[in-house]
Amino acid sequence: MIKAATLSLVALVGVAASLFISGCASTRVKQLSGAEFVTRAQQMEQVSSFHWTTYIGRSTQRVYLEFGRPSLLYNIIGKETRTTVYWAELSELPEDIAGQLKAGNLPWKPWHSETNKTERTVEFTVPK
């Protein structure tokens, strides 16, 4: 009986520790192929309130995206987001996309660029 309780406790602590560790590692870096990068980058055109994809920029040989979402343990330990930086070799991208990025033009249109074009004015009255 005591041995079973001890094993259960060890298993529970192991699961809790693995969840905590995975929640603490909130930023990851992952290499993608050129095709995978294009697919991920196209996500920035999709409206979402749960996750985001942002083009970070490029170096002479690589291109970078940031993908973020609420962490798995958001409500348990208060970890706000889990971020992954994706990168690919510029030479692995289709020529037209690589050319646009080299010229400083983003081939994908972030959905928020359309929604943030109009000025918004909020009017309110303060009671006396």
**87 in a structural domain:** yes
Structure tokens that stand for 25 in this block: 């590692």
Query: Is residue 19 one of the residues assigned to a domain?
Result: no
Cα angle 42-87-98, degrees, rounded to a multiple of 5: 65
- C-beta pairs of 77-84 under 8 Å, 24+ apart in sequence: 77/20, 77/23, 79/23, 79/24, 79/26, 81/26, 82/23, 82/26, 82/27, 82/28, 83/26, 83/27, 83/28, 84/27, 84/28, 84/29, 84/30
How high does pLDDT run on average in the chain? 74
How many domains does the chain contain in total? 1
Query: Does residue 16 lie in a domain region?
Result: no
Q: Per the domain annotation, does 52 fall within a domain?
A: yes
3-class secondary structure, 46 = coil
Kindly indicate the confidence band of residue 127, based on its pLDDT and cuts at 50, 70 and 90: low
**DSSP 8-state assignment for residue 70:** E
Averaged over 18-42, what is the pLDDT? 77
CA distance 120 to 127: 23
Residue 14 belongs to some domain of the structure: no
Does a structural domain hold residue 96? yes
Asked if the structure places residue 124 within a domain, the reply is no
118 within domain boundaries = no
* 125 pLDDT above the threshold of 50: yes
What local confidence, expressed as pLDDT, does residue 54 receive? Answer: 86
Q: What is the mean pLDDT of residues 106-114?
A: 75
Q: In this predicted structure, what is the pLDDT of residue 51?
A: 77
Mean pLDDT of 37-46: 87
Of 18-22, 25-29, 109-113, give the lowest mean pLDDT range: 18-22
- Whole-prediction pTM: 0.63
* Strand, coil or helix: 105: coil
Give the model confidence (pLDDT) of 48-105 as tens digits.
767 788 889 999 999 999 988 876 665 566 667 788 999 999 999 999 999 999 999 8
Q: Which domain holds residue 95?
A: 26-107
